[in-house]
Amino acid sequence: MEILVLSTLHQLHGEVGYYTYDHLARIIENFAPDILAVELTPTDLQERKPQSVKQEYQHSVYPLLDKLRSKVVPLEPPEPTFSELVQMGKRAREDLQKRDPAAMEQFAMYVHALYDVLLSWWHSPRDVNSAETDRHFEIKHRYQGALFGENETRGWELWNQYFLEQILVEATKNTRGRMLVLVGVEHSYWLRGRLREQVGVQHLEADAVLI
């Protein structure tokens, strides 16, 4: 099976002109996936629940679901696993705030500066999905894990590992065809790296597809 990981910008699609909600919808429709894997819980997908952060779903994805002939697969875990993973990250942030509020403030400044740089450099969906962007977020999450500690590191790995497992389950069931995986831009480096290592799937490099 051919698998393309496509980075999304969540609510930022509504703030930039080079990768809008319409651009995202056209990419999905033109790729015409046999399987569409989405960053939603099973319940949110079933109810087509509007998302406060991942606003691409109500603006780009939900309107296509009845039009596309794709099998749609939720990537996020159901409860109680969803809340358990959320709480791991929340505890990590709370612990750092208590232990070293200055470090927490410095990290916030770093993230703000990183996004300022990327938003000024990105000029197309291809830029957002580039190897350069992936390297920036891999560095960010290495720093984030080292700073926030074990709960952060383990929570991040478990989130991404759960995504990967859902992708591979579907790829095993359907050895032919194409799968499009929609995830927030910070997850893409992790998933692309693991998919490149998998036997039996063909990972499509985004820069070769997004021309």
User: Model confidence over 124-150: pLDDT tens digits?
Assistant: 999 999 999 999 999 999 999 999 999
Give the pair of three-digit tokens for residue 127: 């830029």
Asked whether 31 and 178 are in contact (CB, 8 A), the reply is yes
Q: What is the pLDDT of residues 164-198, one digit of tens each?
A: 999 999 999 987 899 999 999 999 999 999 999 99
Helices 131-148/188-196 angle, 10° precision: 110
Q: What is the pLDDT of residues 87-111, one digit of tens each?
A: 999 999 999 999 999 999 999 999 9
Distance from C-alpha of 63 to C-alpha of 57, rounded to nearest angstrom: 8
Q: Using alpha carbons only, how large is the chain's radius of gyration in Å?
A: 17
| Confidence (pLDDT) at 208 | 86
Please give the average per-residue pLDDT across 195-202, as a whole number. 92
Nearest to 195 by CA among 209, 182, 205: 205
DSSP element (H, E) containing 181: strand 178-184
Q: What is the pLDDT of residues 13-66, one digit of tens each?
A: 999 999 999 999 999 999 999 999 999 999 999 999 999 999 999 999 999 999
| Confidence (pLDDT) at 53 | 96
Helices (H), strands (E): how many in the chain? 11, 5
* Predicted TM-score (pTM) above 0.85: yes
| Confidence (pLDDT) at 69 | 87
